[in-house]
Structure 1
């Protein structure tokens, strides 16, 4: 018996134990990172650190900030982490990172340096959401959010809601999506975050203001990236059509006119099929179901009227697709990714694209006759 105990004790000596254990009190848990680069080439990094006692369930009110923002600067990105030791007494911990916020001028200068830095450093992450800020990142990252007191989580939930609205399982707006898009012709589109209001909402009293849209953040439009460099902006309509025609979205709200009257619908079950009629002609067919959200026609919803609605939508959305293609050619952005197909490689602008839209109205409300 004594011999067995001795052997066990000797084996325990050989065990490594928890050499990589990290004390929570020694960590600065990073929720969001914002990056800017000024005209002199100086990198500015803003690290938003969680304040755990303030976000406990039992605590309420704006007595303490849920996060604190630390900003550092360096001439090289690789020295930014070293600089954090001059302003905070804990080690950066990025396993709970929610998103990156990139300034517009940094995005237009190109993100390859930042991407290489993140890929080469094991504790940095490229599989989190990335957005571009039209406004100074110092204002965006220092803004209190309301329903979700942690700003990084607020932005991530906005992005998740954005994806669910279009039936997208995973929104293609992560840093790694920019990396994966580098060798391809089709650009990557990242959402743009905007700050509404004058002056940063960095004081906790902001949480007691009933006006939720004043001094707040919103997602509006998209930043177009080609070869990891921002080349321009698009509005929400162009961005959403990009999601549909490239097969990302499975549903989308739409508005069109039937004999001059407005009809709001949601198209669901979107399916996109591409076929080549010849080496120079690409046919893109979209099949979808329609559900009425709002019908301002002052007539009974008959079989004939349903047919008119389907035809009106097909015609309207075909025109929208053609306008999208014209915009793509005008900007010299291969928004349909034709250059990534064998037939269109190195000559996507020369390809003629035909659109076919086929819709079926199969979901209506409780009434088929409008009230008068």
Structure 2
């Protein structure tokens, strides 16, 4: 499967709302597999009597299925190997590199009750796509030739549809949560945190930032945009866009540009976590493998160094945290050939203390490490670790100096 095709469809809707991409890491079966054949025929069965279906289905088999085995297949969804589906005339399917998923069934007391969605029975990951960045993602996809006329190869006239109009203009519904003016020094400065109070693309927000800045009398304007008042009050956290606009030229300051816009590419609205607790909220979606490496870790400490010996894979990034013990140069250190060292400073008066060692989030790790550990650390495990809601692994330690 091509993940950029999924992203294409996630940014295609015209409504001003967020989207979600579901990621299933599952093997697929060929079209002629018995499991697929059973689910396909069951979908067109005209009765809720499961026993009669099994009897009819077994008439085509040289080795009939027991009702128990048939029930196991009927209640388990399956993905179809797209290479086993030959349909050269279906230009859309070929262009989209797609596959098919067949849902399972809820069967109780020998009766077929309902179809069960794949996301309700299978482990999955989700990626939230904020509306603010959909137009930007559309442009980037087009640059890579993921365009409507390619995805819908039988209709070359297609283009990305325009987003629906916003319910109000940015000027009318946004609000300044707080602001500051500084007229000291060589040039005057103005800063404000702004709540958008609506869904707008970063392009629309950028244009509004320019108009806002040039309506001010100050020479330099900083603007921090958040989706709503709650997020704006967090001051520089969960921001959609940051604007830095210099309206006058000051060569002596060696400014790189008159306008600077910081697009927060990792931005995901906090509201996503609360509105979709089952689908989007961070959590272990991929089960820990039965073949996961059992991680061992020993920690020794002197007044100037912490040394960890472990069988974690090479290049594992660890994070050190303590209210009592200070890391000298960096809180991060890396495992290499079964060892990781961190220079520290221990206060002379400290006799006992605690510290925390964290295997940092998968998003901060190298691809080489994730290839072995798994994208949610599903290939490593240990009683010494506590899996947090953000997929990090914590190891608490108590030390006596």
Q: TM-score range by the shorter chain?
A: under 0.3
The higher-RCO structure (CA 8 Å, 6+ apart) is 1
Q: TM-score, structure 1 length as denominator?
A: 0.24
* Structure holding more helix per residue: 1
Q: Please report the TM-score for the alignment, with normalisation by the length of structure 2.
A: 0.22
